[in-house]
Amino acid sequence: MSLSKLSPIELLTGPGNYAAWAFKLKSRMVLDDLWDAIEKGDTSKSPKALAIIGISVDNKLVAPIRKCETAKEAWELLKGIYASKSAGRRLKLRRDLVRLMKRPQEPLADYFARAQEIGDALIEIGDKLEETDLVVAVLAGLPDEYMAMAEILMCNKKLTMGETLGKVSSVESAKSSLVQQQSEEVTPVLAAHYGGQQKGKGPLCYACGKHGHKAYQCRDRKGGKVFGKEPIVIDSAHVGRPH
């Protein structure tokens, strides 16, 4: 298969994409029957292989290989410069994955996207990261309120990131609904206790639950019995109905 008939390989830009670049370029040379120039030092195939390396690197990386006379020399030179740096980056990314934790108030979608970026970066430099390993790291970094769901999900060895986000999001939705429900239940109680008012309705009576008066003014405090047509009067001596 001719090199020109295949899609171009992403240029080598540095340690960040060296592993992926080396793998793809090797694959391309194997297809074009040029890998012997690198592996065995075949001088008959070296000129074309060297040319392919030269057009597959970023302009800023041309200088190091310009004086190389063979493809093998150029390949080993780039490997010596970037392979070790790539290993250091891989170690850092692995540490980031182990230390991954959901930040307070961070939306789940953002947390999962941050984890996916680390996973993609590892794969790009040649790390054989399995999606299940990424899922485990994400679940381990969730707060305690998600742990029951996380333990159940970790039993599924084929769960994807997308499926995990959907299932964990159900916990967040349930939590939000519970908070809203509790808020709706507590608000009237507080309003009644403190004689609170709702706009346009007046104060709330915590004796009968109606608006427009407070508990000490309520005519309906005993099972619906009305004490009288006149309002209850409060004086300095006692609370009661005027005689």
- Count up the domains in the chain and report the number: 3
> Which residue in 100, 145, 152 sits closest to 122, CA to CA?
100
Mapped onto helix, strand or coil, the DSSP state of residue 59 is helix
In this prediction, residue 120 has a pLDDT band, given cuts at 50, 70 and 90, of confident
> How many Å apart are CA 143 and CA 140, to the nearest integer?
8
Q: Is residue 126 part of a domain?
A: yes
Reply yes or no on whether the pLDDT at 93 is more than 50. Answer: yes
- Claim to verify: residue 17 and residue 82 sit in the same structural domain: yes
Counting residues of the chain whose pLDDT is more than 70, the rounded percentage is: 72
User: Which of 132, 155, 180 is the C-terminal boundary of a domain?
Assistant: 180
Reply yes or no on whether the pLDDT at 207 is more than 70. Answer: no
Q: Is residue 93 part of a domain?
A: no
Domain that holds residue 123: 100-180
Q: Is residue 189 part of a domain?
A: no
Q: Is residue 79 part of a domain?
A: yes
Which pLDDT score is estimated for 127? 82
pTM summary value? 0.48
Q: How many whole angstroms from its chain centre is CA 25?
A: 32
> How many Å apart are CA 151 and CA 160, to the nearest integer?
15
- How many angstroms separate the Cα of 77 from the Cα of each of 153, 154, 203? 46, 44, 83
> How many Å apart are CA 75 and CA 61, to the nearest integer?
12
User: Which of 88, 110, 141 is the C-terminal boundary of a domain?
Assistant: 88
- Claim to verify: residue 124 and residue 165 sit in the same structural domain: yes
For residues 78-94, average pLDDT: 84
Q: Is residue 104 part of a domain?
A: yes
Reply yes or no on whether the pLDDT at 9 is more than 60. Answer: yes
Q: What is the mean pLDDT of the chain?
A: 78
